Chain A
Amino acid sequence: MRKGCSKFFLEDERQFERWNDSAIKSLKAEFKLFKDVVVLSLMHPWERDARLLKKALKKGPPHYNVIVEIACTRSSDQLLGARKAYHSLFDRSIEEDLASHVKGSERKLLVALVSAYRYEGPKVKEDAAKSEAKALLNAIKNNNGDHKKKAMEEDEVIWILTTRSKPHLKVVYEQYKKISAKTITEDLEVELLLKEIVECLCTPQTYFTRVFDTALREDAKEDAKKALTRLVATQEDVDLKGIAAKFEDKIKERVKGAYKDVLLGVLADDRK
């Protein structure tokens, strides 16, 4: 190996061939991602989600998007399982911990989001969806107007997003497009957390695509790569195949080693 990969080894004046520091660092980083994927994939999904939630909560506001991702992209029973696992692992409920550690305006919204036990059937109420789209539009415009209260603090917004079923919310999303020039996510550029919630609930494919895209860029940060790892290891039922196909070239070009095998392997298997 030493003979084959000469660029990783330096020979210094003492004629000792040692490993290049930056090479060691990049090796560790590669395997860290690989290790993360393996550990995440092997854990019971409920325990995995509970641990991810705890970690995100500990790390603070920049990581609250993980809480959003888990609360919004899991099925009702999976989210419930995560809550049960949380009881077991940490002797508290996730709601308690969120409610006492999240200090900002997103507290009510996040606690309600994590407490959701949504109806999963296809039945949708068209009329209610129309009036709810209007209510959301009002809340968002008001926020842009007087900046007094953020849209995510509005009770209406909170209960629409945290109690309605996902099929219903998709209809609300469509109705919103009809009454506003833009989509909800476009109108929510200012409130990132709210935007992600809407994205995960109504257009999850867009969210997944964004995660892939951000992680596979030239200047991708640690967190972005971790997000991709998490996605790949935890989204078992979702069809990532279509999204991944668009990024196949980037994966082959930018990702290295064992981690690349994992990404390609996972995606290849989906193709069967």
Chain B
Amino acid sequence: MQYNELFKGWRLEKFLNSEENRKSNEAWVDQKDKCHESCVIQKEIKEEEAMATLTVPTTVPSVSEDCEQLRKAFSGWGTNEGLIIDILGHRNAEQRNLIRKTYAETYGEDLLKALDKELSNDFERLVLLWALDPAERDALLANEATKRWTSSNQVLMEIACTRSANQLLHARQAYHARYKKSLEEDVAHHTTGDFRKLLLPLVSSYRYEGEEVNMTLAKTEAKLLHEKISDKAYSDDDVIRVLATRSKAQINATLNHYKNEYGNDINKDLKADPKDEFLALLRSTVKCLVYPEKYFEKVLRLAINRRGTDEGALTRVVCTRAEVDLKIIADEYQRRNSVPLTRAIVKDTHGDYEKLLLVLAGHVEN
């Protein structure tokens, strides 16, 4: 064939497969990915700082100083809890990660193990959960939620729906690293029936995060949801599909349209049977996706005002939201309960546990 002669000079094999070409392409790709990742993360961080309650001193001591002080807090008789609170309670995730790394390098021991040895009870749980990197924390909470004695569909849904797409992704990556299996596997294995039908797609989601909304689609899907709910087909594939795959902005538009068109908030229509646990989970899912601060306010309200505080829930909410939006949640709490969150915490808890909670909630001593 003539054509062979024409193209021999092109040396396609080399072009398509040369090591240099591939390497430089990969390097560029890596750089571009890293830049994009960090840009996205920067934007997320800036937005969250405004709503966080965590306070970090303007001049932060060096990491080695922090490590030294923490070491001192453990040494000798007893533990200097106040020092631990003062340091860890005023460091953000990046700083805490650095402290853990440096502590391990300097003293050959994992900071968390040291804390575990020295502390106990609610205070220990709070410190350990707080010290973890957010992704690791979510992985740990999710793992606990799949275990028999601590199982909680609510926590799984909470993590899947209140984190950003990237935060949920990092949690899943941390889960791989820590437990040598995927979160999806565990959720599939340890939940059943309708709960699994809902939770598995929720934890597997990687939602689009843009603000663009398709109003025609919102109308169609509002109608669809209304039909299914009227037929009491709560765990219908379409209902789950909308909640588990659409972007949060799109779901918001759909639910607004639902209210405009059919008169009620979708959650009001989902209250058909107050004892149905699946419906309760579905309502919480909607809340988490569209107005998470109301969801968290309720969790806190139930945790604090019960006879005997639910420390697990209190710890979890404060730890996971202090760097995110605890300020908004606290405002919501005050609005709904006529009492500032910090005062409620003071009333219901005591000791070092109370102290650290207050520090994380941004409480300033008068």
Contacts and interface: CB of A to CB of B under 8 A. Distances in A.
B180 A112 contact: no
Nearest to B192: A155
A87 B201 contact: no
Interface string B140-159: 00000000000000000000
A224 interface: no
A119 B245 contact: no
Interface in A100-145: 100, 107-108, 111-112, 115-121, 123, 128
Nearest to A108: B237
A103 to B, nearest CB: 11
Contacts of A265: 12-14, 16-17
A115 B204 contact: yes
Given A80-B206, A95-B205, A258 B169 contact: no
Contacts of B24: none
Interface string A181-223: 0000000000000000000000000000000000000000000
Interface string B22-39: 000000010001000000
Contact of A159 (B3, B14, B188): B188
Interface residues on A, range: 35 or more
A266 B11 CA distance: 11
Interface string A129-171: 0000000000000000000000000010001101111000000
Contact of A163 (B180, B188, B244): B188
B181 A119 contact: yes
Interface residues on B, range: 35 or more
A269 B13 contact: yes
B309 to A, nearest CB: 36
A93 B201 contact: no
A163 B180 CA distance: 13
A99 interface: yes
B247 interface: yes
Say what secondary structure dominates the interface of chain B: helix
Nearest to B181: A119
A92 interface: yes
A261 interface: yes
Contact of B182 (A41, A163, A257, A264): A163
Given A99-B241, A262-B12, A116 B204 contact: yes
A268 interface: yes
Contact of B176 (A81, A112, A119): A119
A1 B14 CA distance: 27
A13 interface: no
Contacts of A264: 13
Contacts of B13: 261-262, 264-266, 268-269
B3 A163 contact: no
A255 B346 CA distance: 79
Given A99-B241, A269-B17, 8 more contacts: A4-B2, A91-B210, A117-B169, A123-B181, A256-B3, A262-B13, A265-B17, A266-B16
Interface of B: 1-4, 7, 10, 12-14, 16-17, 29, 33, 169, 172, 176, 180-182, 184-185, 187-189, 196-197, 200-201, 204-210, 212, 237, 241, 244-247
12 contacts: A4-B2, A93-B205, A93-B206, A115-B205, A117-B169, A119-B182, A163-B182, A165-B181, A256-B1, A258-B3, A261-B7, A268-B13
